[in-house]
Amino acid sequence: MKNRRKKQRLTLLVLRDAQQSVKQIHLSKPLMIAVPAAAILSISSLIVSLHIQSARTISQLEQQLTLKSLESMKMEVMVTDKEEAIERLNQAIMKLSEEATQTKTQMKKMKELELELQQFIKKHSSSGQETSSLSLDGSPQVGGEYIAVHENEMLHLAEETRDDFEAIQELIKTMESHIPETLHQAAETQTKREGKPALWPTRSKQLTSSFGYRSDPFNGRSAYHAGIDIAGERGDPVFAAGSGTVTTAARSGVRGNYIIIRHPNGLETWYMHLDSLGVQVGEQVKQGEVIGKMGTTGRSTGPHLHFQVVKNNRTVNPLPYIQ
């Protein structure tokens, strides 16, 4: 057994081309072990190196992939950023547009209010002056420096413009609340002005008897005349000397058909000897409104208007008021 093992040899036959001879390689026992071992070693080292190489390649590939995906992610982020910016810009512009519409409506309202105020002033002012209209129109009379706007400034610009719009809206809101108040005040002032009996109450200006002491037209005796007499035709219109409230519209034996109008500041105007009454007690009358017709009712010698002014329950000379 020992000998046989000693004699053990490995013969390798190397076959090449058909023309060439077959080579025999005799291998001793140690070689018999060494060669497969070397083969295994070299194969395993090859496998290891292959592993290493492939791992490296995979790692490189992975790295590349990571880079690529990072880049693509970056790209995506950039795209998202841009989309977001565009979206924000769009929203800003949309809000601006909404505000512009609102402002337009408010400006229209303002214009209407202003027109109302102007009509009021025009109607009541004696000078007939017109104030210049406040308006926001598309007239070409505009100017200013041209400043180019870059894309990245758009958002900022939109936000700034929106702030401006908000400020304008605040201003308009304030004005909106002020104008009706001004109108109200103007109306009150006008009422007071119109309430002052300042209008001559007839078309005729023929004064037949003045205020104060005179000789009585019926008995010739000295008497106090509490107003003025204005002669005219029977049926001539009699006007309210000032705006006010009718407190009396009645008939009396002495005064005939008569009217008393109460005005602001403790003033009253009395109209006597009317042919007919055109107003009723409690009625609001405007200055210049026809309140009755001239006549000769009561203690009268002919068609005339007895007109008197009472201030704080005392008769006063009417002429300073209506002249």
In the complex with Zn ion, which residue's Cβ is closer, 54 or 301? 301
C-alpha 261/C-alpha 267 separation (Å) is 9
Shortest distance, position 240 Cβ to Zn ion, whole Å: 18
In terms of CB distance, is 229 or 236 closer to Zn ion? 229
**Cβ distance to Zn ion smaller for residue 263 or 306:** 306
Nearer Cβ to Zn ion (293/306): 306
Instruction: Please work out the total of residues on this chain that contact Zn ion, with binding judged by CB under 5 A.
Output: 2
Alpha helix (H) residue ranges in 216-318: none
Secondary structure (H, E, C), 136-192: CCCCCCCCCCCCCCCHHHHHHHHHHHHHHHHHHHHHHHHHHHHHHHHHHHHHHHHHH
CB of 225 to Zn ion, least distance (A): 6
Q: Which residue in 255, 263, 293, 306 binds Zn ion (CB under 5 A)? A: 306
CB–CB of 288/298 below 8 Å?
A: no
CB of 113 to Zn ion, least distance (A): 48
Tokens for 158, please give them. 């939109």
Decide if residue 308 touches Zn ion (CB under 5 A). no
d(CA 200, CA 103): 49
Query: Residue 318 CB, nearest distance to Zn ion (Å)?
Result: 11
- Only segment of 5-13, 124-132, 226-234, 252-260 that touches Zn ion (CB under 5 A): 226-234
Supply the minimum distance, in Å, between the C-beta of residue 321 and Zn ion: 16
**Residue 268, interface with Zn ion (CB under 5 A)?**
no
State how far the Cα of 32 lies from the Cα of 182, in Å rounded to an integer. Answer: 123
User: Does residue 273 bind Zn ion (CB under 5 A)?
Assistant: no
Least Cβ distance, residue 244 to Zn ion (angstroms): 21
Q: 284-285 and 290-294: which strand pairing? A: unpaired
Report the run of H or E that residue 307 belongs to, with start and end. strand 304-311
Q: Is 229 in the site for Zn ion (CB under 5 A)?
A: yes
Q: Which residue is nearest to Zn ion (CB)?
A: 306
| CA 317 – CA 309 distance, rounded (Å) | 7
- Binding piece for Zn ion, criterion CB under 5 A, among 85-93, 234-242, 284-292, 298-306: 298-306
Q: Least separation, in Å, of the C-beta of 272 and Zn ion? A: 7
CA 78, 81, 87, 92 torsion-angle sign: negative
What does the angle CA 292 – CA 269 – CA 232 come to, to the nearest 5 degrees?
A: 45
305 contributes a contact to Zn ion by CB under 5 A: no
In the complex, the residues that contact Zn ion under the rule CB under 5 A are: 229, 306
